[in-house]
Amino acid sequence: MSTRFSDAEVLAALEECAREPIHQPDAIQPDGCLLSLDHAMERVLQASANLDAYLDVTARDAPVAGPSRVLGARLLGRLRRELAGRGQLPSALVASRRHADHVRRYHVLAYRSGNRVVIELEPMGGRRETPLLSAVNRQLQALARAEQPSTLLDGLVEGVRSLAGFDRVMVYRFDEDGHGSVVAESRGEKVDSYLDHHFPASDIPPQVRRLYSINAIRSIPDATADAVVLVPDRDPEGGVSLDLSAGMLRAVSPVHLTYLRNMGVGSSLSVAMHGDDGLWGLLACHGRTPRRISPALRDAVAAMVYMATSRLLLLQSREDARYLQRVHDSRGLLTRERGRLQGPAKLLRRHGPEWLALFGACGVALVYRDQVARVGRLPGRARLLQVAEYLSGPIGRGEAWYSRRLRSSPLAGVFGKSQWCGLLAVPLSVGDSSPGWLLLFRPEQVETRVWAGKPQDVPVKREGRPVLTPRSSFASWREEIRGSSLPWTPVEHRAAVELGEDLAVLAVSREFDELNSRLIEANRRLEHLAHTDPLTGTWNRYRVEQQIDAEIAAAERYDRRCALLLFDVDHFKQINDCYGHEAGDRVLTALAAQVQRMLRGSDYLGRWGGEEFVVLATNSDADAAGFLGERLRQSVAGMEIPGTQPVTVSVGVTTWHPGDNRRSMVARADQAMYRAKREGRNRVCSEV
């Protein structure tokens, strides 16, 4: 019979779990040994109980023998020099020590923990791993060439799994609530897939996140092995537990070991991915059985993760820069305009729709002094005035404010359970005055979230009190999330603030009138930049992805068939190499124009990347899609482009199946296209 606990008891169990001192376990994993020395590195204060399995001295004898006898005078001298003035070694050392009549090589890590120096030794393999550097370099070069975040992360998980041999490798991304979702995965046939599954924030509690800011790598070679205690278990002079946060051998929390066992994981390796705002996500590697990887291979995996993270941040920065440039184009026009005041209402009527598209909003309002102007789906005038009053008051403090969950925000009393769930509010302020607000609203975005196991905190009673235990099942569990809008990104927040500043200047100086014509042109340019490939004039990948998602949604709702054609210019590198990149550009431009002429008005053409293009054919079954692919192939093959060789394409065709998403459709079309390449190029292959 299950025990029922009150909300207060569950909260108390959660708080106790968050206080678990996982950084001070008084034990290590059995994959190496540990010594704790005094600050001057003259005395041994603690040692792991397995010390004699690695060095010719027992844990109990180590304090008597002293650091020089245990480690050797040469290694001890190196450690003293390298740690001088530092909190930890700049990089691990490699040292050799004789043990049981054999010379063994060790990976040596040392760091300061309070007024103690902690030294960890891990045995290295008997043979040197000379091919490792070459393999890692190839993986790093591939990551450096990735131009899309999805391509980058897929390459990372595939590369790490091929290098380290784990059964499953995932990239696990955190959202603003601390929940994680698997956004990339590579796995073997005998392990479950968690791609697109979510994990609750309680799976990685706050103290674990803090540890990742200290030590980005967490290795658990054997989740079934018993921990090795320290001797003595507490510091003999301070009576406290040793903080092992910066080390590799720190023992694993029993709760986490149970979690791994319930997931069917016998070994794991996790590497933190830090973004500009903290912990972005993790690379998580799982083995079904215990698996020890060498320190060198572990460091190689970490290097790949650091490279991928840097590349990911660069790609995001590029995307943010493009978005901000579109906003800056509009701002530049704003600051140069001079003219008569139109008033907020006329301004929004003419330019509000473009702002809605730019910020992904359903409604935009300008509340300026006693005027309220509105475009799109918005609350009534009275509610908008209430919002402005709240934001201008002592609680809102007249500062920019945003929320994606208005129903649970301080403005819940204004909105209740209305359709508006997201609000980005920017003051129209000059100096210390705040005469108005730019208000952008987003509607509810109902999300069907797939969890890896039901995310609920269910304590069990131990010693008369509730204690949290890991869930036993990770089977897919679907939940419908309501009451939220799409999140406001930092770059959208920044863009809105900058736009609000310029609008404020114009409003106060009564210079709205001549702004209109340039705003129209700027918004057209914004839309063109957002959706169009600059070389071919076709849709860009972002716009194509939007339309694919829309067509899949329509297919699911109305059972309306659609098809996807992915085609690639054959031997395009040869064209560039032989005739130059300008000729290659002419080929892509001419090809796009030729294909566009062959399509119906209801079909869509976009550049997928490089020399790859996508055609989204609406209301098309497999036969129609195959016929269209053959027409396109023949049409391209018949083109004559001066200054280049004849051009052909390889076409991959697929159609929508119930349950498909964009990723699965594109993957099938990609497989078909590469089959066409393998079978000789200049042909159409289908995966339907």
**Which residues does the annotation mark as catalytic?**
611
List C-alpha distances in Å: 177 to 181, 199, 412, 423, 670: 12, 11, 19, 18, 35
Closest CA to 460 of 143, 125, 17, 58: 17
Backbone angles phi, psi at 303, to 5 degrees: -60, -40
The H or E element that residue 497 is part of is: helix 490-508
The rounded distance, in Å, linking the Cα atoms of 422 and 402 is 7
Closest CA to 686 of 646, 658, 654, 659: 654
Report angle CA 440, 444, 446 to the nearest 5 degrees. Answer: 145
Please check whether residue 655 is in contact with residue 563, taking contact to mean a CB–CB distance below 8 angstroms.
Answer: yes
Q: Which residue has the tokens 């297919």?
A: 555
The rounded distance, in Å, linking the Cα atoms of 218 and 210 is 12
Look at residue 202 and give its three-state secondary structure: helix
β-bridge mates for residue 105, sequence order: 96
The first and second tokens of residue 359, run together, are 């910020």
Q: What is the dihedral of CA 134, 135, 136, 140, to 10 degrees?
A: 100
The rounded distance, in Å, linking the Cα atoms of 636 and 595 is 7
Closest CA to 676 of 557, 562, 570, 531: 570
Please check whether residue 268 is in contact with residue 220, taking contact to mean a CB–CB distance below 8 angstroms.
Answer: yes
Question: ω into residue 149 within 30 of 0, thus cis?
Answer: no
Counting Cα atoms < 13 Å in the Cβ hemisphere of 130 gives 1
Closest CA to 89 of 260, 312, 247: 247
Q: Is 230 exposed, middle or buried (0-12, 13-18, 19+ CB in 10 A)?
A: buried
Q: Which residue has the tokens 């609008």?
A: 503
Residues sharing a CB contact under 8 Å with residue 128, sequence separation 6 or more, in sequence order: none
The rounded distance, in Å, linking the Cα atoms of 156 and 159 is 5
- Measure CA 201 to chain center: 15
List C-alpha distances in Å: 198 to 201, 383, 474: 9, 36, 10
Q: Is 267 exposed, middle or buried (0-12, 13-18, 19+ CB in 10 A)?
A: buried
The 10 Å Cβ neighbour count of residue 590 is: 18
Report angle CA 60, 66, 68 to the nearest 5 degrees. Answer: 135
Counting Cα atoms < 13 Å in the Cβ hemisphere of 233 gives 8
The 10 Å Cβ neighbour count of residue 671 is: 15
